[in-house]
């Protein structure tokens, strides 16, 4: 995450690739929401202290706006999971963040699916990501019975 604001074209591509059937109004709303989360994550990267509550706040809805569409919420959760996996300072709070982000069975299932997909892609791309891979496997082990962890 560079110091510059995320380019509009990149935000559009992210929103479109995540939900290609959304109309331009929904896509614009998704872009605004994602941009706000990315700006907050950049601030957290510079912060001397990183807390689970700060990351949960990044995923939380703003009270002064309409609720986020479900696909937008899911995209933001995936961005936050990627942040947890790739930010070494976030590794120490990852379990706590996951507990705050996934209070229901439905969200636990979503997080498990995302982590499974991520590990699958890394394996098939032969991607070297020792620390993020280890964390993803540990989080999977906590989210579901250890006997089903890949």
126: left (phi over 0), alpha (psi -120 to 50) or beta: left
Q: How deeply is 63 buried, as exposed, middle or buried, from its count of CB atoms within 10 A (0-12, 13-18, 19+)? A: exposed
User: Is the separation of the CB atoms in 131 and 89 below 8 Å?
Assistant: no
- The residue that leads in pLDDT, 84 or 150, is 84
Residue 20: its pLDDT value, please? 83
What is the model's pLDDT at position 5? 66
Using CA atoms, how far residue 104 sits from 114, 118, 131, in Å, is: 15, 21, 27
**pLDDT value of position 84:** 92
Residue 122, both tokens: 């890394």
Q: Which residue has the tokens 């706590």?
A: 96
Closest by CA to 80, choosing from 103, 56, 100, is 56
Q: What pTM, to 2 d.p., does this model score?
A: 0.81
The rounded distance, in Å, linking the Cα atoms of 99 and 118 is 19
pLDDT band at 8 (very low <50, low <70, confident <90, very high): confident
Instruction: Indicate whether 1 pLDDT > 50.
Output: no
With cut-offs at 50, 70 and 90, classify the pLDDT of residue 114: very high
Helix (H, G, I), strand (E, B) or coil at 20: coil
Q: Which two tokens stand for residue 116?
A: 């499974």
Q: What is the distance, to the nearest Å, from the Cα of residue 60 to the centroid of all Cα atoms in its chain?
A: 12
Inform me whether the pLDDT recorded for 102 exceeds 90. Answer: no
pLDDT at 147 over 50: no
**How many Cβ atoms sit within 10 Å of the Cβ of residue 70?**
9
The pLDDT assigned to 131 comes to 93
Residues 34-89: tens digit of each pLDDT: 888 888 888 888 888 889 888 888 777 655 666 777 888 889 999 999 999 999 88
Task: Supply 64's token pair.
Answer: 């002064």
User: Could you tell me the pLDDT band of residue 4, with boundaries at 50, 70 and 90?
Assistant: low
Q: Tell me, what's the pLDDT at 61?
A: 63
């Amino acid at each position: 995450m560079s110091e510059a604001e995320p380019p509009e074209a990149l935000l559009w591509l992210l929103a479109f690739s995540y939900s290609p059937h959304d109309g331009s109004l929904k896509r614009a709303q998704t872009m605004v929401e994602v941009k706000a989360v990315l700006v907050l994550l950049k601030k957290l990267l510079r912060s001397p202290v990183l807390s689970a509550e700060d990351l949960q706040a990044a995923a939380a809805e703003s009270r002064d706006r309409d609720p986020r569409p479900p696909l937008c919420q899911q995209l933001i959760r995936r961005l936050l999971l990627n942040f947890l996996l790739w930010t070494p300072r976030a590794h120490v709070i990852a379990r706590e963040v996951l507990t705050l982000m996934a209070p229901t069975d439905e969200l636990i299932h979503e997080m498990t699916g995302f982590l499974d997909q991520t590990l699958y892609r890394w394996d098939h791309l032969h991607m070297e990501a020792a620390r993020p891979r280890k964390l993803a496997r540990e989080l999977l082990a906590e989210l579901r019975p250890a006997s089903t962890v890949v």
